[in-house]
Structures are given as structure tokens and as C-alpha cells.
Amino acid sequence: MSETVLTVAESLKDRARAALGARNLILVGLMGAGKSSIGRLVANQLGIPFIDTDAEIERVSRMSVNELFAAYGEEEFRALETRVMKRLLKGGPRVVSTGGGAFINDRTRRHIKKGGLSIWLKAELDVLWERVNKRDTRPLLKTENPKQTLENLMNARYPVYAEADLTVLSRDVHKDVIAKEVLAAIIDTKESK
């Protein structure tokens, strides 16, 4: 790699890290938007911890998300999710990947808005479907027509996701491209103030 390319990449990371400061970066969006994979990349580039809230919920409950939904239902799962999110956002800075329904919950959304900078990874239906239809681990898609269910979730949730501080389009490109766009969006928030 040339010296110039390395300098530009380092500059982007350094500027994004400085713009984020002590705040958390919270990724929101539908299942399949890339919150976990992009979140890990961004956290690595910023040199701060990454936490996936679904993994944290599974760790503290000693149950999978599917098991939690089956045993307690969505309402109890969302209450646990809110408690975990509130605890996670007390520290920082870190990159936090949320479950698809976290930002939809009013209480959780308030914690997210107070706890850092939120970025909506927005994706089109076909992109999401291509990513999620390969696995049978999505409790909300265990329906007769899962693609229609996903579209219904988009229609219901996208207006709420639009309340995030920033939006980055998640699409069918290499993850590094989206990660760089997330870093640039963080910088833009600082420079536009």
C-alpha cells in the first residue's frame, strides 16, 4: 500500500475517533442490516470495544434469543433488552450493536439517545432478505411468509429508525466500504456543528 493511502486511512480513523470522543456508537436497524459485522469492523478501526446486545443478553440470561422468545415472549425479552442496554451505555466509548427491535422500544430508544451517537444501517428489502433467509435463527421470521413479515417490519420500523442521529446505507458492497462510511458519518457530525 502506498504511503498516501495509509495516511488517508489512518486520518479517517483518527478523525472519527476524535469526533466520537467518550460517547458510545450505537448501531440500529433491521435484522440483516450488518449491525454486528460492521460494528466489529468499526470498533476495531476505532480501537474501542465492541458489544453485541443479543450476545450480551444470551450471556446474562444463559438462554438463546430464540429460547427467551419461546419461554417468555417478546414483551419480556424487550424488558430484558432495555435493562441490558441501560447498563451497557453507562460506560464508553464502545460500539454497540443492537437487536432489530431495540430502537423500536420507547424506553430503550431513550437510553440510546442519551447514551451516545446512534447510526441507522438502512437496507433495502432484497439486501436484507438475501442476508437473513439463509439462517433459521430469527424468531420474528418464523412465519408462513417470512419475506412478507420482513417487509412488514420494514414498513413499521423504518419511520422509527429514522430518528437515529445518522443514517448509512447498508448495501451489497464490501463491509469495509460501509465501515468507512460510518467513520465518515461520525466525522461529519463533529464538523457540521
Mean predicted confidence (pLDDT) in 107-116: 92
pTM > 0.85: yes or no: yes
How much is the pLDDT for 159?
97
How much is the pLDDT for 111?
92
Which residues span the domain enclosing 111? 3-187
The rounded distance, in Å, linking the Cα atoms of 100 and 131 is 14
Q: Please, which pLDDT band fits residue 7 given cuts at 50, 70 and 90?
A: low
In a domain, 84, yes or no: yes
In a domain, 77, yes or no: yes
What is the pairing mode between strands 116-122 and 24-28?
A: parallel
Cβ burial of 37 (10 Å; 0-12, 13-18, 19+) is middle
Q: Please, which pLDDT band fits residue 146 given cuts at 50, 70 and 90?
A: confident
How much is the pLDDT for 141?
66
Main-chain phi, psi angles of 138, to 5 degrees = -105, 100
pLDDT digits (tens, 9 = 90+) for 47-97: 999 999 989 999 988 988 888 888 988 888 888 889 999 999 988 899 999
SS3 169: strand
For the record, the C-alpha cell of 46 comes out as 476505532
How much is the pLDDT for 124?
95
How much is the pLDDT for 92?
83
* Per-residue CA distances from 169 to 132, 163, 172 (Å): 17, 15, 10
In a domain, 154, yes or no: yes
In a domain, 193, yes or no: no
User: Is 60 exceeded by the pLDDT of residue 191?
Assistant: no
How much is the pLDDT for 74?
81
Mean pLDDT value across the chain:
88
- The sheet carrying 166-169 orders its strands as 50-52, 95-97, 24-28, 116-122, 166-169
In a domain, 9, yes or no: yes
CATH of the domain at 110: 3.40.50.300
How much is the pLDDT for 8?
57
In a domain, 167, yes or no: yes
The rounded distance, in Å, linking the Cα atoms of 115 and 117 is 7
In a domain, 192, yes or no: no
In a domain, 94, yes or no: yes
The proportion of the chain whose per-residue pLDDT surpasses 70, expressed as a percent, equals 89
Please tell me the total count of domains within the chain.
1
